[in-house]
């Protein structure tokens, strides 16, 4: 993919909110999603504070350039059929909507274009855009892996396999929810010591994890691998992911098979898929291997991926407590990090995932694992930020947090921004934690 007219930073839209300072859904972004205004789910593209209803735009003759199979895919109740057509189909939708929202194309089609706009995003239900058949969570931040490892294995924080193999686990797709859906504090077994005995009750150590997720577009057949040079052909776009974690349940159950009930009670995702094409201006080199770090095995090595397998994205975590809401005070930022420091690229994760013949399907989700950096302010979860509860975060109103409290709202934000390119953002990934049984 190369830059084209859809990336032009001078591109202006007749949707005024797309040009407000800090706007995520600029004319150069055009993320894909699913909305409902009381008339069932409909595929849409976000622009400013509005959304283009793709069916209405198609039926109004505003997307006449779409190939027949792409236009037909817009009739499905979720985006999976469109995703299955691969990146060329998404590129066609992007080009068509870009032409539709350009400020210099408004006159002469004003009525049709107004009809294609859904009500303001604040007035519609924004749904999970795809049916997620499978969800895999990786562990791709070496800073996060080292920090967590040092808490439990001070003399050996990073296990020998980490630098050779993208580590991941199979998550639970049924409990993935879009931004805005509240999450309930889970119950489970916990123990004061690794030897037990356990008790059963509400988790006392709920945590968030700041992650980036990749949505699978075109899949691969069972029994076939995906060469790394072609991995990104299977990636539709990116979302933000909050992999909620019950750390006390996790500490008791993770031996010997890894995460289970501590992770599968809820995962929150941002509901707008920012396509890889929209992120083209923010491509960057993969994290270089240090002199003492092994080169990836050949099946995970590709010069193009080395040169541009990374994404220069800024990622933040914000917290708004119940007391803050009562006082009318805004959320407070807990951390800010970058996606450029990931040890494994998304292409490497996908290639490894399919290397044994595992079939990835349209709409599947793979997540990066917690995105952290070497500085305290870049740590992507409270386990690290409050260092296992021993260094609680002190908020400006005097409240302290070692873990998330009932009534807290966690908000993830992310965007790409650089000189010579328009800002491209993900929108928010937010959820309030409710008490057990609420």
Element (H, E) at 403: none
- Which segments of 286-330 does DSSP mark as H helices, in order? 303-308, 322-327
Contact between residue 364 and residue 132 where contact means Cβ atoms under 8 Å apart: yes
Q: Which two tokens stand for residue 188?
A: 């489970």
Peptide bond connecting 404 to the previous residue in cis, omega within 30 degrees of 0: no
Element (H, E) at 99: helix 87-101
Task: Check 7, 144, 352, 353 and give the catalytic one.
Answer: 144
The conformational region for residue 290 under phi > 0 = left, psi -120 to 50 = alpha, else beta, is beta
DSSP secondary structure string for all residues of 326-373: HHTPPPEEEEEEEGGG-SS-HHHHHHHHHTTSPPP-TT-EEE------
> DSSP E strands: which ranges in 50-178?
50-53, 125-127, 135-138, 168-170, 176-178
- Measured CA to CA, the distance from residue 30 to residue 94 in angstroms comes to 7
Element (H, E) at 310: strand 310-311
Tokens 């002469």 found at? 108
Contact between residue 124 and residue 35 where contact means Cβ atoms under 8 Å apart: yes
Nearest to 380 by CA among 314, 317, 320: 317
- Measured CA to CA, the distance from residue 382 to residue 401 in angstroms comes to 8
- Measured CA to CA, the distance from residue 375 to residue 287 in angstroms comes to 17
User: 136 to each of 70, 82, 178, 294, 368, how far by Cα in Å?
Assistant: 28, 21, 17, 25, 9
Residue 49: CA count within 13 A, CB half-sphere: 9
Q: For residue 118, what are the contacts with CB-CB under 8 A and spacing of at least 6?
A: 35, 37, 42, 44, 50, 51, 52, 53, 124
Is 353 a catalytic site residue? Answer: no
Which residues have a catalytic role annotated?
144
């Amino acid at each position: 993919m190369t830059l084209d007219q859809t990336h032009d930073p001078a591109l202006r839209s007749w949707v005024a909110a797309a040009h407000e300072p800090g706007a995520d859904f600029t004319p150069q972004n055009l993320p894909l999603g699913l909305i409902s205004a009381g008339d069932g789910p409909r595929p849409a593209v976000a622009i400013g504070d509005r959304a283009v209803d793709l069916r209405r735009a198609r039926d109004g003759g505003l997307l006449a350039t779409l190939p027949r199979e792409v236009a037909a895919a817009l009739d499905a109740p979720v985006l999976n059929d469109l995703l299955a057509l691969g990146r060329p189909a998404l590129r066609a939708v992007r080009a068509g909507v870009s032409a539709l929202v350009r400020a210099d194309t408004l006159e002469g089609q004003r009525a049709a274009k107004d009809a294609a706009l859904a009500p303001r995003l604040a007035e519609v239900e924004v749904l999970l855009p795809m049916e997620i058949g499978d969800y895999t969570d990786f562990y791709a931040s070496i800073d996060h892996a080292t920090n967590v490892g040092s808490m439990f294995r001070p003399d050996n924080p990073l296990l020998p396999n980490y630098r050779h193999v993208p580590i991941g686990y199979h998550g639970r797709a049924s409990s993935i929810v879009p931004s805005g859906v509240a999450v309930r504090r889970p119950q489970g077994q916990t123990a004061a010591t690794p030897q037990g005995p356990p008790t059963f009750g509400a988790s006392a150590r709920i945590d968030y994890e700041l992650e980036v997720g990749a949505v699978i577009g075109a899949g691969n057949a069972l029994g076939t691998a995906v060469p790394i040079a072609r991995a990104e052909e299977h990636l539709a776009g990116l979302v933000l992911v909050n992999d909620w974690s019950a750390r006390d349940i996790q500490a008791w159950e993770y031996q010997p098979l890894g995460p289970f009930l501590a992770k599968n009670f809820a995962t929150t995702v941002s509901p707008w898929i920012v396509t890889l094409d929209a992120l083209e201006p923010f491509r960057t080199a993969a994290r270089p291997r240090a002199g003492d770090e092994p080169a990836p095995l050949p099946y995970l090595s590709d010069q193009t991926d080395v040169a541009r397998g990374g994404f220069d994205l800024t990622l933040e975590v914000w917290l708004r407590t119940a007391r803050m809401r009562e006082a009318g005070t805004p959320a407070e930022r807990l951390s800010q990090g970058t996606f450029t420091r990931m040890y494994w690229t998304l292409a490497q994760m996908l290639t490894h995932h399919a290397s044994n013949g595992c079939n990835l399907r349209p709409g599947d989700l793979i997540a990066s694992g917690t995105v952290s950096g070497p500085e305290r302010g870049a740590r992507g979860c409270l386990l690290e930020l409050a260092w296992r509860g021993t260094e609680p975060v002190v908020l400006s109103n005097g409240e302290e947090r070692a873990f998330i409290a009932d009534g807290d709202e966690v908000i993830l934000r992310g965007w790409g921004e650089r000189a010579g390119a328009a800002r491209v953002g993900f929108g928010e990934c937010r959820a309030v934690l409710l008490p057990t049984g609420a």
